[in-house]
């Protein structure tokens, strides 16, 4: 009997995942950090009160340490420009600018979008407890559990999946809403175009 | 003779019973230690109307017991480590401080509790947007947000809050608090640091007479702990308990120095004069009984004894010894006279002395300051008890008269050598010089009615409080608007009118913000208007979104009843939200609107705008109290002048044309004291004027004694001893850290010295006559 228990213990130990830190470091090493990353996105949002998911698609530009341009093309055009200091939404010909200092909570949540897209694990760790899982030689998955505070009030968890880049983000909000974003057609660059730089500098 | 002895025994027995009762009361009193350290308790209540009183009481209650601690460091992580270390130390002793839950958890429950009235709760910016915005713009904005990766964080389902108005309303509600939830704690940035907010409540409500400072000690230990973890960590703490402890510790120290200091000095004088243990023991007995009775009666009368009463009362020791001195000086001078006969001789003089001193002390209670009334009752009772101890017990206990001593003889003999003022060239030169000095000094005299004279808060505590106040954006408890109305609805509508005026000033940067009940509970009229506005826009926008997404959507229903005061207060944190509501007082309803972050110099503009709103008045407690102190300074000054005329009239009845001899020294002493204050640049305060009133009551005594017993060495000896011990007591009071008591002590000290020195100069020319009969 004792032997069986000991054997069982050994088996359980073997099945336990390796120390998370090393896997997390491995994931961080796999994610590339280009100066500029462009691509397309497909987003499905399941919002409480809506029977059908809200589907949208468009293009994004992620400029390291500068910000994000999020251009929705379908079902209608709108622009989200996100920098460290401000957030602006343009749709239907009108633009709303929000100063990060005025709405720190909103700014903080949007800043996470920036970190999620870039797979910036070091920054995400400030607000989330992260469990990494290596799927094969290239692919990985991260489970983000918000630490108590602002993010715990907004999200129950966030899941990321990818290889050289983040390819899939799933957001589970506290109010039951769920957002799934798939990224593809990645294109790395060293510089922003003049137009992109101008929009981010606004 | 025999019946007299029996009467004496009965009196002694009755007084011993009273002393026993006082002793029992004292035993319980020191165990419960019902001492009041709140400076504001000293301030008058009678002059304020009921609503203002309620406002002041509410503000006092809000701050009571709360200790706010901010732990700061260069970064959030460091600040957190330091704060954890500090919190562990602060919460170590559960009998001292209790950690109070921050608002982190409470706010989540509140959000859902108020959700049924979501459509009735709008910010003024939202009202303007809803009233002025186009439906197409709203629809485009809502659709864009719906398709964004993150919409604005939603607190309610789309159908209940399509425009995401609710989170904005909450953002404005919590904007006043600079500290925001971060990783489960409340944090803020300021002064180039990250700060964590820790809130505690002091578990003890009473303050120890021992001068122990458990809360302050815990704060100091927590600061050390925080610095041990993070070298550059800073810990700020503020709260009424810290001030109260500092005041209690200071008062405890002063009660001991003044009380025991003058006690020992009095006993030393007794020893020098009588060289016998019996007088020391009996004088000590009369002083202890006097002080204990004073304390018991004051505690019984007022319910609580204020610390400053104790400090002031400690100086009583130097006054209450008079009766014992008189008894033993008379015994020493006439050892052959039987004790009952001697008492009969002394009694009229002692009664007169007690009456004048007690009346002088009770005159302090003329001003409607509860603190002064306590001091008046304390002093008058203490004197009476010391007097009764001398009269009832001394004749029975003092079985052997003290022998003459060299010190006593030298004192008694000194009167004959004292210079007398004569109407010659030297005399008039001195008089002219004195008048010039007095006029020049009084010319320079300045008045000061600053409230801070009542309160000697350590500068370090005040500085920390100011930093915490500006870091946290705490409202000032000293300046606020009082809103008055017939009922809740009218008060709320007036608050809303005031809020509109304040919003305009906030846009100009005149103030950072304000706290008002109407922010949580709009008037019923405003609520109805809000419900109408949001229903109109939201119904149209939801219809547009339904068309765009092809979904069948419908706006959720809201309660049709307005949010009422009772609903708000019934919530878990409702009482906290309604804390500025004063309720109905004398048929009038009222609330306070608190301001924070008022720009220096912007106050006049604020009050001018608010003055246009009906039922709103600005209350500046600091200025109000200063004005009151000033008014009473002038009023008591008039009483002082009237007192001089009254005393002159009384003295004239008995001493006819030599009455001036008793009064002039006190007058000279008073005027010269004022001149000294003028030259020294010390301002005249209400408490200085009160001291001059007391000086009149006591200073005249010396003159009376020398008029009653011209050339009597024993009377002079008693006067001299009384003078020296009184000087000691008030001299020690002049060392107090409380400016008011210091002013009182200093005035008495200088005045007494002058009166004491000047009085024998005006003794009658018959100074070399035979000692007169002591009996008056």
pLDDT at B497 over 90: yes
Q: Which residues contact B261 (CB under 8 A, 6 or more apart)?
A: B728, B732
Contact: A72, B181; criterion CB under 8 Å: no
In chain B, pLDDT over 90 holds for what percent of residues?
A: 11
Contact: B149, A106; criterion CB under 8 Å: no
Cα B426 versus chain centre, distance: 49
Per residue in B151-166, pLDDT (tens digit) is 666 778 888 888 888 8
Domains of chain B in start order, with CATH, are 2-36+244-451+624-768 (1.20.1640.10), 67-238+541-552 (no CATH)
Query: Does residue A98 sit within a domain?
Result: yes
Contact: A50, B154; criterion CB under 8 Å: no
Query: Does residue A182 sit within a domain?
Result: yes
pLDDT band at B711 (very low <50, low <70, confident <90, very high): low
Residue of A nearest to B185 (CA): A149
Instruction: Tell me if B142 sits within 8 A of B545, measured CB to CB.
Output: yes
CATH classification of the domain holding A46: 2.50.20.10
pLDDT at B446 over 80: yes
- Is the link from the previous residue into A75 a cis peptide, with omega within 30 of 0? yes
Q: Is A96 on the interface with B (CB under 8 A)?
A: yes
Three-class DSSP category at A70: strand
Residues of B with a Cβ under 8 Å from any A Cβ are 108, 136-137, 139-141, 143-150, 152-159, 171, 180-185, 548-553
Residues of A in contact with B159 (CB under 8 A): 49
Contact: A91, B140; criterion CB under 8 Å: yes
Q: Which residue has the higher pLDDT, A9 or B671?
A: B671
Across A65-88, average pLDDT: 82
Across B58-81, average pLDDT: 84
Cα(B747)–Cα(A72) distance, integer angstroms: 82
What does R_g of chain B's alpha carbons equal in angstroms?
34
How far away is chain B from the Cα of A134, in angstroms, using its nearest Cα? 26
Residues of A in contact with B181 (CB under 8 A): 149-150, 153
Say what the pLDDT of residue B39 is. Answer: 61
Residues of A in contact with B143 (CB under 8 A): 76, 78, 91-92
Per residue in B213-225, pLDDT (tens digit) is 888 888 999 999 9
Residues of B in contact with A78 (CB under 8 A): 143-144, 147-148
Query: Does residue A5 sit within a domain?
Result: no
Q: Which residue has the higher pLDDT, B512 or B766?
A: B512
Domain that holds residue A155: 20-201
Residue of A nearest to B107 (CA): A153
Per residue in B601-611, pLDDT (tens digit) is 888 888 888 88
Contact: B147, A109; criterion CB under 8 Å: no
Residue of A nearest to B108 (CA): A153
Contact: A56, B147; criterion CB under 8 Å: yes
How far away is chain A from the Cα of B86, in angstroms, using its nearest Cα? 20
Q: Is A109 on the interface with B (CB under 8 A)?
A: yes
Say what the pLDDT of residue B771 is. Answer: 39
Across B135-159, average pLDDT: 79
pLDDT at B766 over 60: no
Residues of B in contact with A110 (CB under 8 A): 150
Interface confidence: ipTM more than 0.95: no
- Top residue of A50, A70, A77, A101 to mutate, by most chain B CBs within 10 Å, is A50
Across B356-371, average pLDDT: 78
Residues of A in contact with B157 (CB under 8 A): 48-49, 175
Across B688-693, average pLDDT: 86
Residue of B nearest to A57 (CA): B147
How far away is chain A from the Cα of B204, in angstroms, using its nearest Cα? 32
pLDDT at A103 over 70: no
Q: Is A95 on the interface with B (CB under 8 A)?
A: no
Query: Does residue A4 sit within a domain?
Result: no
Q: Which residue has the higher pLDDT, B522 or B147?
A: B522
Query: Does residue A81 sit within a domain?
Result: yes
Per residue in B626-684, pLDDT (tens digit) is 888 888 888 888 888 888 888 888 778 877 777 788 888 889 999 999 999 998 888 88
Per residue in B341-351, pLDDT (tens digit) is 888 878 877 88
pLDDT at A64 over 60: yes
- Top residue of B112, B115, B138, B147 to mutate, by most chain A CBs within 10 Å, is B147
Mean pLDDT of chain A: 79
Cα(B401)–Cα(B336) distance, integer angstroms: 9
Range of B41-45, B134-138, B737-741 with top mean pLDDT: B134-138
Contact: B157, A49; criterion CB under 8 Å: yes
Contact: A51, B551; criterion CB under 8 Å: yes
Per residue in B550-597, pLDDT (tens digit) is 888 888 888 889 999 999 888 877 787 888 899 888 888 999 998 887
Cα(B136)–Cα(B589) distance, integer angstroms: 44
Angle CA B550–B556–B558, to nearest 5: 165
Residue in A49, A70, A75 closest to B553 by CB: A49
Query: Does residue A156 sit within a domain?
Result: yes
What's chain B's length in residues?
776
Say what the pLDDT of residue A101 is. Answer: 66
pLDDT at A7 over 80: no
pLDDT at B710 over 70: no
Q: Which residues contact B655 (CB under 8 A, 6 or more apart)?
A: B661, B662, B707
Say what the pLDDT of residue B576 is. Answer: 79
Per residue in B454-488, pLDDT (tens digit) is 666 788 888 888 888 888 877 777 788 999 999 99
In total, how many domains does chain A have?
1
Residues of B in contact with A181 (CB under 8 A): 149
Query: Does residue A12 sit within a domain?
Result: no
Say what the pLDDT of residue B486 is. Answer: 92
Per residue in B16-47, pLDDT (tens digit) is 898 888 888 888 877 766 677 666 666 665 45
pLDDT at A134 over 80: yes
Phi-psi region of B191 (alpha: psi -120 to 50; beta: other; left: phi over 0): left
pLDDT band at B767 (very low <50, low <70, confident <90, very high): very low
pLDDT at A99 over 80: no
Run of H or E residues at A144 = strand A140-146
């Amino acid at each position: 009997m004792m032997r069986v228990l000991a054997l069982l213990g050994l088996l359980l130990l073997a099945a336990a995942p390796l120390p998370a830190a090393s896997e997390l470091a491995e994931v961080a090493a796999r994610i590339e950090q280009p100066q500029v990353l462009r691509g397309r996105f497909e987003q499905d949002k399941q919002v409480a009160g809506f029977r059908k998911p809200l589907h949208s698609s468009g293009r994004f530009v992620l400029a390291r340490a500068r910000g994000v341009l999020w251009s929705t093309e379908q079902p209608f055009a709108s622009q989200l420009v996100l920098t460290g200091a401000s957030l602006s939404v343009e749709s239907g010909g009108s633009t709303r600018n929000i100063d990060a200092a005025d709405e720190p909570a909103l700014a903080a949540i949007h800043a996470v979008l920036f970190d999620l897209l870039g797979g910036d694990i070091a920054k995400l760790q400030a607000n989330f407890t992260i469990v990494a899982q290596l799927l094969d030689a290239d692919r990985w998955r991260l489970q983000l559990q918000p630490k108590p505070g602002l993010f715990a009030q907004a999200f129950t968890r966030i899941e990321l999946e990818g290889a050289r880049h983040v390819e899939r983000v799933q957001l589970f909000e506290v109010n039951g809403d769920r957002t799934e974003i798939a990224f593809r057609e990645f294109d790395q660059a060293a510089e922003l175009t003049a137009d992109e730089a101008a929009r981010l500098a606004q | 003779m025999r019946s007299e002895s029996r009467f004496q025994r009965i009196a002694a027995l009755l007084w011993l019973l009273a002393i026993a009762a006082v002793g029992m009361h004292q035993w319980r009193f020191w165990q419960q230690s019902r001492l009041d350290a709140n400076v504001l308790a000293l301030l008058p209540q009678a002059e304020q109307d009921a609503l203002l009183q309620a406002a002041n009481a509410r503000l006092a209650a809000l701050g009571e017991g709360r200790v706010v601690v901010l732990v700061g460091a260069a970064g959030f992580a460091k600040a957190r480590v330091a704060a954890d270390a500090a919190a562990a130390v602060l919460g170590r002793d559960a009998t001292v401080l209790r950690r109070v839950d921050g608002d982190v958890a409470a706010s989540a429950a509140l959000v859902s509790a108020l959700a049924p009235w979501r459509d009735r709760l709008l910010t003024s910016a939202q009202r303007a947007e809803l009233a002025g915005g186009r439906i197409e713009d709203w629809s485009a904005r809502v659709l864009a947000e719906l398709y964004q990766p993150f919409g604005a964080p939603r607190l309610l389902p789309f159908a209940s809050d399509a425009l995401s108005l609710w989170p904005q309303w909450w953002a404005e509600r919590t904007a006043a608090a600079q500290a925001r939830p971060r990783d489960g704690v409340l944090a803020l940035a300021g002064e180039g640091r990250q700060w964590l907010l820790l809130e505690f409540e002091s578990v003890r409500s009473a303050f120890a007479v021992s001068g122990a400072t458990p809360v302050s000690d815990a704060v100091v230990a927590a600061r050390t702990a925080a610095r041990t973890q993070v070298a550059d960590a800073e810990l700020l703490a503020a709260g009424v308990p810290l001030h109260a402890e500092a005041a209690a510790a200071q008062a405890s120290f002063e009660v001991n120095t003044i009380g025991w200091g003058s006690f020992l000095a009095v006993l030393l004088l007794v020893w020098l004069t009588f060289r016998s243990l019996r007088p020391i023991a009996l004088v000590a007995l009369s002083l202890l009984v006097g002080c204990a009775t004073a304390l018991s009666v004051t505690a019984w009368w007022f319910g609580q004894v204020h610390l400053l009463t104790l400090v002031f009362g400690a100086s009583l020791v130097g006054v209450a010894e008079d009766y014992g001195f008189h008894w033993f000086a008379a015994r020493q001078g006439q050892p052959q006279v039987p004790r009952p006969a001697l008492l009969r001789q002394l009694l009229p003089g002692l009664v007169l002395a007690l009456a004048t001193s007690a009346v002088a002390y009770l005159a302090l209670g003329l001003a409607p300051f509860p603190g002064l009334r306590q001091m008046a009752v304390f002093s008058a009772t203490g004197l009476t008890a010391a007097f009764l101890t001398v009269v009832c017990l001394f004749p029975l206990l003092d079985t052997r008269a003290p022998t003459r001593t060299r010190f006593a003889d030298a004192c008694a003999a000194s009167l004959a050598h004292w210079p007398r003022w004569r109407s010659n060239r030297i005399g008039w030169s001195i008089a002219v010089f004195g008048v010039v000095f007095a006029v020049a000094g009084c010319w320079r005299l300045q008045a000061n009615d600053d409230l801070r004279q009542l309160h000697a808060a350590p500068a370090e505590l005040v500085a920390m409080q100011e930093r915490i106040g500006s870091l946290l954006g705490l409202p000032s408890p000293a300046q606020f608007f009082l809103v008055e109305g017939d009922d809740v609805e009218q008060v709320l509508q007036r608050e809303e009118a005031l809020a509109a005026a304040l919003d305009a000033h906030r846009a100009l940067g005149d103030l950072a913000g304000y706290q008002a009940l109407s922010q949580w509970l709009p008037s019923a009229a405003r609520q109805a208007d809000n419900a109408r506005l949001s229903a109109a826009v939201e119904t149209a926008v939801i219809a547009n979104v339904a068309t765009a997404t092809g979904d069948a959507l419908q706006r959720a229903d809201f309660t049709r009843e307005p949010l009422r005061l009772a609903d708000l207060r019934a919530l878990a944190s409702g009482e906290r939200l309604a804390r500025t509501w004063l309720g109905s007082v004398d048929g009038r309803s009222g609330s306070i609107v608190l301001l924070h972050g008022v720009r220096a110099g912007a106050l006049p503009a604020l009050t001018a705008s608010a003055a246009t709103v009906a039922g709103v008045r600005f209350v500046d407690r600091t200025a109000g109290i200063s004005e009151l102190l000033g008014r009473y300074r002038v009023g008591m000054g008039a009483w002082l002048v009237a007192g001089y005329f009254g005393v002159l009239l009384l003295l004239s009845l008995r001493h006819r044309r030599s009455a001036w001899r008793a009064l002039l020294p006190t007058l000279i002493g008073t005027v010269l004291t004022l001149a000294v204050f003028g030259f020294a640049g010390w301002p005249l305060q209400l408490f200085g004027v009160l001291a001059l009133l007391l000086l009149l009551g006591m200073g005249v005594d010396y003159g009376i004694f020398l008029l009653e017993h011209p050339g009597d060495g024993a009377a002079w000896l008693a006067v001299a001893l009384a003078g020296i011990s009184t000087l000691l007591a008030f001299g020690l009071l002049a060392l107090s850290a409380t400016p008011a008591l210091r002013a009182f002590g200093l005035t008495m000290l200088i005045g007494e010295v002058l009166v004491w020195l000047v009085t024998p100069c005006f003794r009658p020319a018959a100074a070399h006559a035979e000692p007169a009969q002591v009996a008056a």
